[in-house]
Structure 1
Amino acid sequence: MSILLKSFTAAALMVCFSLPLAAQERPKSMTISTASPGGVYAIYGEGVAQLVTDKVGVATSTRQTQGPAQNLVLLKAGQVELGMTTSGPAYEAMHGMLELAPGVEYKDLRVLFAMYPTPFQMVALASNGIASLEQLEGMRVGAGPRAGTGGTFWTRWLKSLDINSRLQYGGIGDQASQLADGRLDAIVTAGGIPHPALSELENTQAVTFFGMSEKALKGILKANPYAVNFTIPKGTYKTPTGDIDTLAMWNFIVADASMSDDVAYEITKAVLENNDRMVATHSSAKQSLAENIVKDTFIPLHPGAARYYKEIGIAIPEAIAP
């Protein structure tokens, strides 16, 4: 009996070690963490989940969260396999500066591909007469989820500009409704353009979209190296009569370094080679192009994703090389 058992064990081990790495490590299912309902993350994430399910063959679902910061915490804890983040929270997570996980450095964070830039956007009802950040002094201002990109950075930035607003936090869809019925005076948020909740608001209310002054732009950029100048083009929304000057942060789909190279490669390839499907999900995906991986300046690239970029001739900057 012992000889038979030993023979069976040896055979089982031979089968196990003869399997390809992808067969051993391919998950049965995956989850991608997004953000609150009503924002671009929730819509874009559904598009990614469907593509990965269809093209990679791994059933993938979305998980609604408070946004990038929580997504990074969930990813590090192994509660999700994919996450969506902006450059600011990613920088802070890597350096142990994230408010949700102070002192915890996420060194195993890896990028698969660039999504799109997230502009910081400001809107008020036209009847409120608000057309600048400075006029938000003392006003009731919705800033999106507290742990989201908007909630996190607008809280800091308004304080740094000595603008004392009465900030309120919550889902951007709900806050758009609160602005419409007079419970808020303005909304400051961060999200892809056109933002679904703001477009819907504009369809039912007379609104004013406004930008940042040159002084505000320079002050914020100096203290936040992961932010970049951005222009919301005329025509993005119906109301503005010209371009809007603001700031933005780039968004990325990220994974943990523990994800197998093959799975990371297949996800990256599936999304980037089916851009038409992503654009049909949300127009912000027009920026989800392989060449935009260079918009990442500090998060290491996953080796599996790097293999795909090498195959198609995209040069990887040394700063993010795996």
Structure 2
Amino acid sequence: MKKKKRIALALAAALMMVLLLAACGDKTIRLGVAGIGGVYQVFGEDYAALQAQNGGRKLEVRETAGSAASLRLLSSGYLQMAVVQADMAQDAYNQTGAFAESEVENNFSTMAVLYQEECHIVVRADSGINTVEELQGKTVSIGEEESGTEQNAKQILAAYGLDEKLVKEVNLNYTDAAKQLQSGEIDALFCTSGVKTEMIEELANSCGIALLPVDGSAAARLLAAYPAYSQGVIPAGSYNGQDQDVPTIGVKAVLLASDELSENTVKALTKTLYDGVDTLQTELGLPLELGPADKIGVPVHAGAAAYYQENGMAAGEDAA
């Protein structure tokens, strides 16, 4: 009997330790964002600061190589939240596209659409390059490996009949790409991000830039082939020296949450997002287009859905 009692006590102690460890780990939520130089990182830091002010669960911002990397880390449980491109989220959830042969689990849901991202193709103002076709034979940064920018860049180049045999593709983060464009080591860089991206602003001010349009039949092919894309524009005056609108394609940035996070936790985090919309827009310098995000083919988290229902927002209805 004594032996059984000792075993029972040991099991109870072990269970209590597991619960305590889970509770401790449950206090901090890791939020995945792309690297320094893009809007995701700025959003993540500002959102985490708002959450800290509310006294709720702590958000710990973690940099990743980009959307694909964030989705893999979210699926594996290392991250509990992530900011990613809608097209990448859709592919990961459905195990298509870049994730067709991946073992990524669809154990995540959406919290909200955040804003429209535009595909920027940046060259130096003195480069003499005016079209995507003229990138043939050039050295081009297509973003980091495992990033949404990399996928967009490859798809855009392919729409213009270009591939790695015709263009020298290099994988650089935004910061390194900007440095190498300024120094002339590369001829162009791709960046899928919100308009008025800090890295592009700094380039425009330091060496002068031009933005290549994505339009015509190439844009039509992209819009037909990839449902997550939409017609976009980089408005005149977005960057120093840019005096005309630049047509391009865009994709939504979305905020995802692990299905392991409780309904109450995600509901509170969604409230923080909506309550802080004015602050976030000011810090980011771009308009947020908050909405339930059920149109991208990934279910809405139960906690976010509860928030939307309580605040009179129907599924699919924007609420900026």
**Matched residue count:** 301
Structure 2 residue aligned with 1:130? 129
Aligned counterparts of 1:275 and 1:103: Cα–Cα separation in 2 = 35
1:56 and 1:267 in contact (8 A); partners too: no
Aligned counterparts of 1:49 and 1:105: Cα–Cα separation in 2 = 26
Aligned counterparts of 1:48 and 1:184: Cα–Cα separation in 2 = 34
Q: Deviations over 1:10-45 (max 9, x none)?
A: xx9xxx9xxxxxx97992111101011111111111
2:112 and 2:293 in contact (8 A); partners too: no
Structure 1 residue runs of 5 or longer lacking an equivalent are 17-22
Structure 2 residue aligned with 1:39? 38
Q: 1:138 to 1:295 in 2, by over 3 A?
A: farther
Matched, 1:118 2:117: yes
SS at structure 2 position matched to 1:281:
helix
Aligned counterparts of 1:119 and 1:111: Cα–Cα separation in 2 = 21
Aligned counterparts of 1:215 and 1:194: Cα–Cα separation in 2 = 27
SS at structure 2 position matched to 1:259:
coil
Matched, 1:264 2:280: no
2:277 and 2:288 in contact (8 A); partners too: no
Matched, 1:287 2:291: no
Aligned counterparts of 2:295 and 2:47: Cα–Cα separation in 1 = 19
Aligned counterparts of 1:175 and 1:105: Cα–Cα separation in 2 = 29
SS at structure 1 position matched to 2:95:
coil
Q: Aligned-residue CA RMSD in angstroms?
A: 2.5
Q: Deviations over 1:42-86 (max 9, x none)?
A: 111111121222225222211111111111110111101111111
Aligned counterparts of 2:204 and 2:316: Cα–Cα separation in 1 = 41
Q: 1:105 to 1:169 in 2, by over 3 A?
A: closer
SS at structure 2 position matched to 1:268:
helix
Q: Post-superposition shift, 1:143?
A: 1.5
Q: Post-superposition shift, 1:160?
A: 3.8
Q: 1:234 to 1:295 in 2, by over 3 A?
A: farther
1:192-211 alignment runs, 5 A limit: 192-211=194-213
> Counterpart of 1:159 in structure 2: which amino acid?
A
Aligned counterparts of 1:295 and 1:96: Cα–Cα separation in 2 = 18
> Counterpart of 1:107 in structure 2: which amino acid?
N
> Counterpart of 1:53 in structure 2: which amino acid?
A
Matched, 1:300 2:315: no
Structure 2 residue aligned with 1:97? 96
4+ residue runs over 4 A deviation: 23-26
> Which of residues 219, 240, 243 is equivalent to 2:245?
243
Structure 2 residue aligned with 1:63? 62
1:71-110 alignment runs, 5 A limit: 71-97=70-96, 99=98, 102-104=101-103, 106-110=105-109
Structure 2 residue aligned with 1:275? 277
Q: 1:213 to 1:280 in 2, by over 3 A?
A: closer
Structure 1 residue aligned with 2:230? 228
2:281 and 2:288 in contact (8 A); partners too: no
Identity %: 25
Q: Deviations over 1:211-238 (max 9, x none)?
A: 1131111011111111111111122112
Structure 1 residue aligned with 2:19? none
SS at structure 2 position matched to 1:208:
strand
Q: Deviations over 1:150-207 (max 9, x none)?
A: 1122123313421221111111111111001110111122111111100000011122
Aligned counterparts of 2:23 and 2:149: Cα–Cα separation in 1 = 40
> Counterpart of 1:287 in structure 2: which amino acid?
L
Q: Post-superposition shift, 1:103?
A: 3.6
Aligned counterparts of 1:281 and 1:181: Cα–Cα separation in 2 = 30
Structure 2 residue runs of 5 or longer lacking an equivalent are 17-21
Q: 1:176 to 1:24 in 2, by over 3 A?
A: closer
Aligned counterparts of 2:316 and 2:247: Cα–Cα separation in 1 = 29
1:68 and 1:84 in contact (8 A); partners too: yes
TM-score normalised by structure 2 residue count: 0.87
> Counterpart of 2:202 in structure 1: which amino acid?
E
